[in-house]
Amino acid sequence: MAKPKTYTKFRDVQAELERSGSALFRDAEGVESLVIRSPYAINYIHSYAEDTPFFLGLSEGKLRGSKCSSPSCGFVFATPRGHCMVCGAPTGWTDLPTKGRIHSWTTCRFGSEAFLKETPYNLALIEFDGAGSLLLVRLKEAVESDLYVGMPVEARFDPKPKYSITDVWFVPSKPAAPAKKPR
């Protein structure tokens, strides 16, 4: 059996691994290293545990935040959590408004491997009246040049939920149509 093909550029080694699964890398000093492709795939069993009602809520078109149960605190979290970050008391569920404003935003031209096919996509941190913290979401129906801090936005829900945070996304709120003059 022939030796694996030899390359002096690591990029070429990576390409050869895609083709044949093995390659030799030779560095500037002539040292050879044998490199193989080693696949690694897992199906992870991911429980939403105490965050479950939030994800079920998305499938019902609801945005649920957490409200601290302590009367002296009562902090409202737009991203839910089972216990209050401020005072440690348990939280209960509270419906958030489905309209908010952009606190900050970006357009990603890349992403990690699992999301490359979805590029470009917008991310935005949303602030809500009555909540003390924010929610990170995808922002759709808008391009980079449309977006600004403070922009009014509203939630949309996936009619076919995948039970992921991507079941909700936000879009720019349409400005209220100017009242028509009565004839």
Partner 1 sequence: MVSGGVTKFAKAHPAMDFRLMVKRAYDYALKDATNLTADRIDGSRISYFSDHFTRQLKAASMVQDYLGLNPKGSVRIEWGGATGGECFQAAFEAVASGRMDVCLAAGFETMSRVATWKGNEFIALASDTNFDFPLGGFYTGYYALMVQRHIYEYLRRTRFAGITDEREAQRTAIAEGSRIMSMVSVKNHLNALHNPYAQYPKRLTVADVLNSEMISYPLTREQICTMSDGAAVAILCSEERAKEFTDRPVEVTGVGTGTDTMRLADRPFGKVPLAPNEADYPELPYPGVHSFRAGRTAGLEAYSMAGITDPKKELSFVELHDAYASSEIQTYEDLALCRYGDGYSFVESGAPFLPKIDYGFPTKRAGEIPVNPSGGLIACGHPVGATGLMQAVFAYWQLQGTIGRHFRDPTLQIPNARRGAIHSHAGTGSSVTVSILKRGF
Q: Can you give the binding site for partner 1, defined by CB under 8 A?
A: 10, 13-14, 25, 27, 31, 33, 35, 38, 40, 46, 48, 51, 77-79, 81, 85, 103-116, 118, 121, 123-125, 132-138, 144, 148-150, 164-166
Buried (b) or exposed (e) across 126-161, using 16+ Cβ within 10 A? bbbeebebbbebbbeebeeeebeeebebebbbeeeb
- Shortest gap between Cβ of 181 and partner 1 (angstroms)? 28
Identity of the residue, 98 or 133, whose beta carbon is nearer to partner 1 in the bound complex: 133
- Shortest gap between Cβ of 75 and partner 1 (angstroms)? 10
If residue 26 lies in a helix (H) or strand (E), which one and from where to where? strand 22-26
- Shortest gap between Cβ of 130 and partner 1 (angstroms)? 14
- Shortest gap between Cβ of 183 and partner 1 (angstroms)? 35
Identity of the residue, 81 or 99, whose beta carbon is nearer to partner 1 in the bound complex: 81
Output the DSSP codes for 28-89.
TT--EEEEE------------GGGHHHHHHHHTT--EEEEE--TTT--EESS--SB-TTT--
Identity of the residue, 20 or 149, whose beta carbon is nearer to partner 1 in the bound complex: 149
Identity of the residue, 97 or 182, whose beta carbon is nearer to partner 1 in the bound complex: 97
Two tokens at 56?
Answer: 């079920």
